[in-house]
Amino acid sequence: MNQPGRYSRREFLLFGSVAGQMFGWIPWFRPKDVSLAGARFQIVHTKAPKHVKLPKRRYLLIHGDEETARQVLVEHIKTRRATSYIIDSKTRDVPIDDGKIDPNRMFSRFGAQANLKRLNPNWKPEQLTAALDQLDARREHLLHDLLPGGSDLLVALHNNGEGYSVETEIPISDQRSLKEPDNPHYFFLCTDPDDFQVLSVSPYNVVLQQHVRAPDDGSLSRRAAARRQRYVNLEVKQGDANRQKEMLNWLEAHLP
């Protein structure tokens, strides 16, 4: 909720000047952030221009090193009616205690455990347990912001490199529409069958993960699927801003 009274005038002005540099102009905003371990998300509220009717959206940048997605998102939301969550980090992994974690693996204890073990091989069992307990204690607070229920669509923008593509997701997807099989790094991943029906008409690759049968990896898309929340990941190769804008604009023009 809007709680401007929580902030001192100095903090408010400071945020205003930073946000002003980022967005040029902001018709209306409420300064706030939300965090889990070392993952801190700046929350940005934006409005559509007057007389433009747009559905209310939520947007997310969760990987700080996905610079193309960041640029596309920050530009895109200037004219959208949205609440956006933008990670305050320049690296993919974020600190937790004296180690690190992939912020898109912290949304379940099971997924976080696997990721913490991989990224912090020298941790003792008690360090692992302490980090997992810390995540358990605050996870719902962040999920309440990101997946609050209701019918608003949450769109997460990602960039990928060589190791990850739609091929990774195909075996664990309920449905797939591969219009660009030769461009596997460019795809939508959605959790809602109605959204899939619409996106599968697009000229792009799309997979539906409504009932994910693979082990829980701690990613937000798995939580969204489990909670029946409308969620779309938009993946393109790092550096291809034009393609990410094109696919995002297609989504905006066709999804309610």
By beta-carbon proximity to Zn ion, the closer residue of 58 and 158 is 158
By beta-carbon proximity to Zn ion, the closer residue of 70 and 158 is 158
* Out of 32, 58, 63, 222, the residue judged to bind Zn ion by CB under 5 A: 63
Question: Which stretch in 16-24, 156-164, 215-223, 226-234 sits in contact with Zn ion by CB under 5 A?
Answer: 156-164
By beta-carbon proximity to Zn ion, the closer residue of 63 and 176 is 63
* Out of 57, 78, 158, 176, the residue judged to bind Zn ion by CB under 5 A: 158
Question: Which stretch in 9-17, 83-91, 151-159, 205-213 sits in contact with Zn ion by CB under 5 A?
Answer: 151-159
Q: What's the min distance (Å) between Cβ of 66 and Zn ion?
A: 5
Q: What's the min distance (Å) between Cβ of 67 and Zn ion?
A: 11
Judged by DSSP in three states, 186 sits in coil
Q: How many residues sit close enough to Zn ion to count as binding (CB under 5 A)?
A: 2
- What is the SS3 assignment for the chain? CCCHHHCCHHHHHHHHHHHHHHHCCCCCCCCCEEEECCEEEEEEEECCCCCCCCCCEEEEECCCCCHHHHHHHHHHHHHCCEEEEEECCCCCCEEECCEEECHHHCCCHHHHHHHHHHHCCCCCHHHHHHHHHHHHHHHHHHHHHHCCCCCCEEEEEEEECCCCCHHHHHHHCCEEECCCCCCCCCEEEECCHHHHHHHCCCCCEEEECCCCCCCCCCCHHHHHHHCCCCEEEEEEECCCHHHHHHHHHHHHHHCC
Would you say 238 and 160 are in contact if contact means Cβ atoms under 8 Å apart? yes
Question: Which stretch in 1-9, 62-70, 184-192, 195-203 sits in contact with Zn ion by CB under 5 A?
Answer: 62-70
Question: Which stretch in 58-66, 117-125, 177-185, 210-218 sits in contact with Zn ion by CB under 5 A?
Answer: 58-66
Q: What's the min distance (Å) between Cβ of 102 and Zn ion?
A: 9
By beta-carbon proximity to Zn ion, the closer residue of 32 and 205 is 205
Q: What's the min distance (Å) between Cβ of 5 and Zn ion?
A: 35
Q: What's the min distance (Å) between Cβ of 107 and Zn ion?
A: 14
Residue 139 in contact with Zn ion, rule: CB under 5 A: no
Q: What's the min distance (Å) between Cβ of 64 and Zn ion?
A: 9
Would you say 200 and 29 are in contact if contact means Cβ atoms under 8 Å apart? no
By beta-carbon proximity to Zn ion, the closer residue of 79 and 91 is 91
204 HSE (CA, 13 A, CB side): 26
By the criterion CB under 5 A, which residues form the site for Zn ion?
63, 158
